[in-house]
Each structure stands twice: as C-alpha cells, then as structure tokens.
Amino acid sequence: MGPTQPDFSASQNANAPADSSNNESATSSPGLEGPVDSPLHESSNALDQPAEDILPRDQQQKTATYDYAYEKSMSHAEARLFYQHHQLAARNDTLPSSPVAPARSTFESRLEESPNLSDPMNSQGQISREGSMVFEHEPTKLRLQSASEPNPSVSRYLEDDQDEANDSARNQAVILDAVQGQGPYSVAAASLQSAGVGIGGPQVASGYASSSDAVTSELSAIYCKIKKLLDRRSQYLALSLQGPGDDPKDQPDWEIYPPPPEPAWDHEKEYHPGNIGDPSDLAGKKRKMGQDIGEDFDMEELMPLPKESPWTYRLDGNSVYQVFDSETAADQQTPIVQIPSLRDFYMDLDAVIDVSTDGPAKSFAFKRLSYLEGKFQLYTLLNEYQEMADSKKVPHRDFYNVRKVDTHVHHSACMNQKHLLRFIKSKMRKSPDEVVLFRDGKHLTLREVFESINLTAYDLSIDTLDMHAHTDSFHRFDKFNLKYNPVGESRLREIFLKTDNYIKGRYLAEITKEVISDLESSKYQMVEWRISIYGRSLQEWDKLAAWVVDNKLFSPNVRWLIQVPRLYDVYKSSGMMENYEQVITNVFQPLFEVTKDPSSHPKLHVFLQRVVGFDSVDDESKPERRLYRKYPIPREWNTKQNPPYTYWLYFMFANIASLNNWRKRRGFNTFVLRPHCGEAGDPDHLAVGFLCCHSISHGILLRKVPLLQYLYYLDQIGIAMSPLSNNALFLTYDKNPCATFFKRGLNVSLSTDDPLQFAFTKEPLIEEYSVAAQIYKFSAVDMCELAKHSVDQSGFELSLKERWLGANCSLPGVAGNNVAKSNVPDIREAFRHETLLGEWSLIERYADGNGTGEQKSLVPGPPGESVSSNHDHNAPNPEPQSELSSSVADTTDASLSEAHGTDQTTTAPSTPSTYVARSPRLGTGEFSSPGSGTGVGGSDGLPEQKIFPGIVHERARKGTMQ
C-alpha cells in the first residue's frame, strides 16, 4: 500500500457540516473573545484531563464493543486531513476535480456560470447573525468573524433551521433541473416532494460535476458499455417474448379456467358474504375455497380444442427447433424468427463478462450501489414515521392479508416434514395391503415395503425420517439430494414423492391436494411449484399432464414451472442416450407438437395453460472444465462430460424463443426462463441470467460482481431469494446479501425453495418472512414491499395481479401503486421510482454524450467511425443470422404477411426511461458509440482512466474486444 491520499471528493461533503457546526458554536456563544481551542484538533490526551475540564458530551461512554478513545483519534485524524486540504485549496485557489462531487458542488458551479440565476444558498450567510468561526493560519486557533466581514465560502454552510434547509434543497433541485434540462427527472422529483419525502430524496439526478473532459469521457465510456448491455438484453427478451405484455394470457380477454373466486369486497368497500370463495356470477361448477379441490374442473368444458395449424417446424442442424409458415418456407430455410447462433450467443456473453470484469467498471458500479444503499438509509431515517402513519391509515390491510407468492418452491418438497409424516402414517393405517411398488420382479404392498426396512408406523418420527437439511449438508449438495429420501430409502421417495410410479403418482396427488387446501384456506398465499421434466423420453410430458389433469390439481392459488435437471452425464453414463441432442428433443418436441395440433396431446394442452415458465436445476458448484476450444453442436456432443451451464441455458432459450413466437401467434400462453442462477459456482452464470432470462432464483453471488448487480438493478430483474435454504447449503444467514439487495432497490422477493428440508411450521412462506424480519430488522412496510415484488415477479395472469395489487399495477411508481391493496405507502414507491429514474437519467446523459455535447469513439479505428446497427437498413449486414428480427404483433395464423422478421425498435423492459434500444448486432461483441471527429485519451483513441488512477483501460490491455 502506498501513502494515504486524501479523498477530495469526500472532503467537500464533510466540510459543510463541519463548518456549520462551527458556525453554530460561535452563534450560541457570542461572548467568546480571542482564540479558542479547536475541537477538531483536540489532543488524544484529553481523556486524561480532569472531569471538570471535559464537556459532558466528550466523556467516555463505556460499552463492551465501542472504543471511545480510538474513535476520537480517528475522527481527529480525518478532521486534520480535511483542514490540510482546505489550507492547500486556499493557497492554490483551486481544488482537484472529483469524479463523484456532491449535488451542492454541481449546483454552485452552475451558478457561477449563470450569474442571472438566484442563489438559494446565499441566504445562509444571513443565518449567522452573531458571527462565524474561521480558521487562522495556525490549525489550533479559531477566531470570531463578524457578520459584516465578507466570506466567500459562507454560501456552502448548512442552515440551522430544517424547514428552511428543505425549501433550499428543493429550490436547488428545481434550478439545477432547469439548468441541465432534465425534464423526466424533474417530474419524478416533484412527485416525490409532493409525497412528503423532504430531503430524503436526492436533489440531483447524477451527483456528478462535469468539471473536466477526462472525467466526463470516463463516465461516458462506462455508461456506453452499460447501455449497450441493457440494449442487448432487451433485444434477447423481445426476441423470446419474455417482456411485459408479450404473453397473451395478460390480455383482458384471457379466460382462466377454472375461474377464480370473486372478491369478497367490491370497489365501494361493501361486504358481500356470498362471494367468499364462491364465484356466484360465473357459470359452471362451484366450490368453496379450501374444500373439494379440483371439483370445479371438467375436461369436457374445454372442448373442442383449437384446430391444427398449417405452420410446421423442424429441428435445424444446430439442434434448435425452427418454425416455418409453410412447407415451402421450411425447404428454403426461412423461419418466422431468426434465433442467434451458438457462436453469436457466446460472443454476446463474452461481451457481458468482459465488461463485468473490467476494473474501472467494477469500481464505478460498486460506488453507485453504495450510494443507493446509503440513500435508502437516509430516506428511512427521514420518513420512517411517515410510512408508519400512512400504513395505519389503510383500512383492513396488513402484512398478513396482502398477497404473497412463493416464487421458488419445488413441488416434491412443498410440504413440511410433519405433514409428510402424518400422511405416511395415515396410509400405513388405512391401506397397508395396497400394492404400491414393483421391484426385483415382484409386487410389494406398503406393509411389505416397511417390513423390508424393519420399520412400523409407530416407529416413524421426524428424526426417523431424517429429511431436514442440517449442518451436515453445508456445501454438500450430494448429501442434500439424499435428504429427499424418507428414512434414507429411495423406494419410499418413489412411492410418496414421485408422479411416475406404479400407482401413477396417486399418493403425491393426495398430499398435493392437502397442501392446496391449506393454501386456499389461508387465501393470501400463492405458489409456483416447480416440477421436473428430465428429458429421458418423449412420453414424460404426457405422463405429467395426465397426472395433473386426471387428479384435478387445479387451483387459483397454484401455477407451475417446469424444471429441467442438468443430468445429461448421468444419462450418458447409464447408456440411456447417445448425445445431448436427444435431451433437447425429449424436452421440446412434444411442446411443438401440441402447439401445432392441440388435439394430439389434449391433456398436455390444458396443463400448459397453467405453466408459466422453465427452470434449469442442478448443483451449480460442480466444476465446469472446458474440454473444447469451440463447443460442438449437441448432435456431436457425445462424450460423458456434462455440457456447461451456459450451454444448457442457450438451448433452452433458443427453443423457448422459437416456441413462444408460434404460441403467441396461435393465441396460446407463452413461457419465460427463470433458472437457478448464482447460488454457487461460477459468477459467470449470472451473466447468462442477465442476457437471456426473465428472472432468476437465488442470485447470492451477485454480491461478488458489482457491475452485474448494478445491471440487475437498472433493469429490475427479479431475484427470488431463499436465505433459509442458502443458510443450510452455501451461505450462512448473517452473510446473505438479501437485505443489502433490498436496500439498494433490487427487485428481490422471498421464497421457500424446499419446505420439506428447511421449514418447521405449517406456513413455510410466513416462516421465511418472519425469520428475515427478525434477522434483518425489516419493517412492516419492507415486508409488504417484498410481498408486492413477489406478485410482480410471478407468472400469474395480469387480471389476477390487478385484483391483488390494483387496476394499474403494471405502471411504474406511484401511478401503479394502490396502497389499499399492497399496503406499500406511496412515499416508498415514489422514492424507489425516482431513484431508478435518476440512475437512468445518468445513462441517457452520459451514454448519449450530453455531458460534453458530443460522443467519443470507444473502439480503436478511424475517428468518427460508427458501428452499423441492425436498425440501419442501408448498412451492409454480413451476418443476417445474428440479427434479432421478429414480428409478433398478431396472434393468429392469418397474418402470414407479418410472418417474416421486420425491424424492431424495442424499449428495455421494466425500465422507466424513454431511451430507445439501438445496440449493435447481437453476436458482434462490439462496444461503440457513434462518435464525433475528436478523440479523447491516448494515441490509440481510448479514453484515459483518470477517474480511477492506476487502473489501465481494459482495451489498452487486450487490444480489442472482438
């Protein structure tokens, strides 16, 4: 480590409060004359002085964990540093530029440039009527300065009166917005101030002072990279129809069958007892919620099914199913949507990883995230009681009766241990002679199965089941998988926790209905159960759909996700398949068949209406050794080595994208990709999640990759976190970043993962919330905000979300918040939305070159050369396969004229900004911005890294990113 250098950016922040406190001391003591000892330079020996010479506030506070003397010495050292800096500034009459100057510095620089603007801070010189303290040449002497003496720096002093300070801060923000011309931010700031946030919200969108071209060029370089990555993600989501409003089931005319119960309260807040769990105004069978699960479902009511589509599909040479509007188009290889190739995908992925590992970008993202966290803490200090008061004004609603969705829970572990234990004992008493298993060439009854393991129903207990993940499973995913076996016996797991067994999953269906009954009785808890399709045979889909439909496992509280375990290496070792393409075929071919002709798999067609997405599961901590310099296509992947995580997700994304475009044209619901990501292993998994996934589960490794964390914040990517699960497997509860993510504004929700292994109570989701509230000190508003996030992340139909959160729940900010439904005060939503708008305004300002009035070129080459965009039709396009073009405006097969790709101008989903995505072609790995004729930096055209001294630009190290 080198010699410590003063942090000039922080010194300006600290000086104003310090000077203000000095000003207060002088004002409150007008009788003081002559020099006084400066408290900033108090000797460390002051603790040894007699008690009568020490002020009561300076007396040592003896606690078990606080070293008063050390704290005082550290504060004195910092104060001396600030003072020396001021002395240096007085001699040089200038200060070094700061990359992160406070809002006040920006404002003052603007006022110096615009003398015709009135200075709202000049009135502060009149606050000190008696005089103010100023430093003499000696650091330990202070003298009184009368109010009549001129003081050019007094305008930086803080006001004593808090109301006047609030007014001044608001005036400052308004004037600054007028100077900088930031319209959208001004609107957001006005809405926040009208909500009563006061000085808790930021007064400047950027917080940067454009003091030099070097700083601005560095910010522009970083923000251009960030914007390009966000553009790239928006195009991947637009291609695969995973964005908001892309799913036909979110349309107002979508019918949910069986229909959900009508609300018990209407808009006039009148109570209608007849509507409790009773859809009285809807035709069809009726049942009370929590009773007779599935009795309101009748397969005959869904007949006739849609007719066969004239379109066709084929598996191309890259093992991606392509959809064609005719056989002629199939012969000509002109699909309705162009899917990026595996090479294009990895080039885009490398671009994300290169930026996320870039030193200056990481440092920048870390500072922005720290700023967001500190800003929320300031907001909480200033508005905690106001939020509490707003919540108390809401009738009827509290944390227990706001809707909560368990966004990540595995179906085979959806019950707690006590529930499973009671069910097993019940079956042992009621049907011990039922044949439940065929093994080793003979049929076994339930009694014979338990006799073979030397157990009776009386012997069973929670300890005997041994299914709870204790400390022995920490960092041992293999042991955790064994916890799914009751009493350590795989035969019991096959009998009670499998859908495809000798009894066709009847026991699991019965216990599932019991869990559904508990959910419906609680009314306010919803689940998205993840159930497995292994990819071992083409019949898996039909068996799973028959299990759901035949057992009538339909409920307004339940939706399904399909999880695909990454177990190709197991199948290959056992001789079940020859290459990886067989897994893709077994998983996706039945889906394309049922989309073309629903009558070919009628039960599967009905089941898919309740499926919201796909998941990819397995132990992420497994090492991924790259055996190939260039990955082979799945048809040629015939080794026993399991493909890497990124390889699995690409082929899931590519086939889902092709499938979704066809299903939307047919008016069927589409699917999203929500994999396990960032639980352990390589942090690069998070880059895949950012690039092509709707949302992710776990995501705890984001704490190690600040740039990706900042990107997840900017695009509000959903993260379903399970701290109790992580505590047992990979990360202790106190180190879990869930609370930090929440404070910084990331879109996080709480989920249970595996109640069978981690939960102790009958309501696992409430248990998850309660533990988080106790450990992280979450308030009631925090809990309701997490619950609202879970509804937003879920795949429930928009009509249900509007019923749960309000009619405008799809709108951002206060406009989409209904405090009577969500119990989240408008002041909290205004703060979150305005903060996000502020970060996006930075991107618009610096990535578009508004900081200096021009944009710099960020790639080596002739100055002014720009990269052709896929929106530029006049530019040559050497690789048409890497373009993302799709027309998904129509949902019927009749619009054949729109079947082929047209250019897209997409807006990044879930972002409140108005910027238009104009990124380079996917797969190019290029990062550039259309530049002017002037370059900044060295001879290679790269901007100099002055914002972070000592760090060399990434392209200066590598030469090029292509």
Could you tell me the residue ranges of all domains in the chain?
341-414+503-846
Task: Look at strands 36-37 and 141-145 and give their pairing.
Answer: antiparallel
CATH 3.20.20.140 fits 341-414+503-846, yes or no: yes
How far are the Cα atoms of 169, 598, 599 from residue 309, in angstroms, in the given order? Answer: 62, 9, 11
Tell me, what amino acid is at 142?
L
**Among all chains, which residue has been given the structure tokens 């016996």?**
489
DSSP state of 486: G
Alpha carbons 482 and 468: distance in angstroms, whole number: 10
Query: Reduced to 3 states, what is the DSSP secondary structure of residue 439?
Result: strand
pTM greater than 0.75: no
Check residues 849 and 898 and name the one with the higher pLDDT. 849
Q: 702-735 as b/e, with b when 16 or more CB fall inside 10 Å? A: bbebbbbbbbbbbbbbbbbbbbbbbbbbbbeeee
Are 608 and 602 spatial neighbours (Cβ–Cβ below 8 Å)?
no
DSSP state of 7: -
Burial class of residue 307 (count of CB atoms within 10 Å of its CB; 0-12, 13-18, 19+): exposed
**Among all chains, which residue has been given the structure tokens 């808890």?**
525
> What pLDDT was estimated at residue 168?
44
Q: What average pLDDT score do residues 371-377 get?
A: 97
Known catalytic residue at 443: no
> What pLDDT was estimated at residue 422?
93
**Among all chains, which residue has been given the structure tokens 């989409």?**
816
Of 283-297, 451-465, 711-725, 912-926, highest mean pLDDT: 711-725
Give the number of residues written for the chain: 962
Token code pair at residue 189: 């700031």
Query: What is the helix (H) or strand (E) element at residue 312, kind and residue range?
Result: strand 312-315
Alpha-helical (H) ranges within 308-452 are 327-332, 342-356, 359-392, 417-430, 446-452
Alpha carbons 179 and 168: distance in angstroms, whole number: 16
Of 249, 283, 20, the C-alpha closest to 155 is 20
**Is residue 11 pLDDT above 90, yes or no?**
no
Alpha carbons 198 and 105: distance in angstroms, whole number: 20
Average pLDDT, the chain: 75
Of 606, 478, 584, 498, the C-alpha closest to 535 is 584
| pLDDT confidence bin for 401, thresholds 50/70/90 | very high
Catalytic annotation, pick one of 605, 698, 833, 953: 698
At 911-954, the pLDDT tens digits run 433 333 333 334 444 443 333 333 333 333 333 333 333 344 44
**Is residue 49 pLDDT above 70, yes or no?**
no
Query: What is the helix (H) or strand (E) element at residue 559, kind and residue range?
Result: strand 558-565
Query: Reduced to 3 states, what is the DSSP secondary structure of residue 157?
Result: coil
Are 555 and 518 spatial neighbours (Cβ–Cβ below 8 Å)?
no
Token code pair at residue 325: 């509007």
**Is residue 287 pLDDT above 70, yes or no?**
yes
The neighbour count for residue 924, using CB atoms within 10 Å, is 21
Alpha carbons 76 and 60: distance in angstroms, whole number: 16
Of 135, 113, 102, the C-alpha closest to 35 is 135
Are 258 and 554 spatial neighbours (Cβ–Cβ below 8 Å)?
yes
DSSP state of 265: B
Strand partners, 525: 404
At 745-801, the pLDDT tens digits run 999 999 999 999 898 999 999 999 999 999 999 999 999 999 999 999 999 999 999
| pLDDT confidence bin for 186, thresholds 50/70/90 | very low
DSSP state of 753: B
Of 396, 202, 330, the C-alpha closest to 822 is 396
Query: What is the helix (H) or strand (E) element at residue 220, kind and residue range?
Result: helix 213-240
Alpha carbons 572 and 370: distance in angstroms, whole number: 47
Alpha carbons 888 and 873: distance in angstroms, whole number: 20
At 646-664, the pLDDT tens digits run 999 999 999 999 999 999 9
Rg (CA), the chain: 32
- The backbone torsions φ and ψ at residue 719, rounded to the nearest 5 degrees and listed phi first, read -130, 110
Alpha carbons 686 and 719: distance in angstroms, whole number: 11
Q: What average pLDDT score do residues 108-125 get?
A: 40
The neighbour count for residue 245, using CB atoms within 10 Å, is 11
Are 793 and 695 spatial neighbours (Cβ–Cβ below 8 Å)?
yes
- Per mean pLDDT, which range of 517-531, 690-704, 851-865 is the poorest? 851-865
- Per mean pLDDT, which range of 159-163, 298-302, 509-513 is the poorest? 159-163
Alpha carbons 783 and 397: distance in angstroms, whole number: 13
Residues 6+ away with beta carbon under 8 Å from 700: 678, 679, 721, 726, 730, 731, 736, 737, 738
Alpha carbons 813 and 806: distance in angstroms, whole number: 13
Please report the beta strands in 422-490, taking only residues with DSSP state E, as ranges in sequence order: 435-439, 442-445
Token code pair at residue 248: 């036909």
3-class secondary structure for 879-930?
Answer: CHHHCCCCCCCCCCCCCHHHCCCCCCCCCCCCCCCCCCCCCECCCCCCCCCC
Check residues 304 and 67 and name the one with the higher pLDDT. 304
Distance between alpha carbon 529 and the CA centroid of its chain, in Å? Answer: 20
Task: Look at strands 442-445 and 525-532 and give their pairing.
Answer: unpaired
> What pLDDT was estimated at residue 59?
63
Query: Reduced to 3 states, what is the DSSP secondary structure of residue 44?
Result: helix
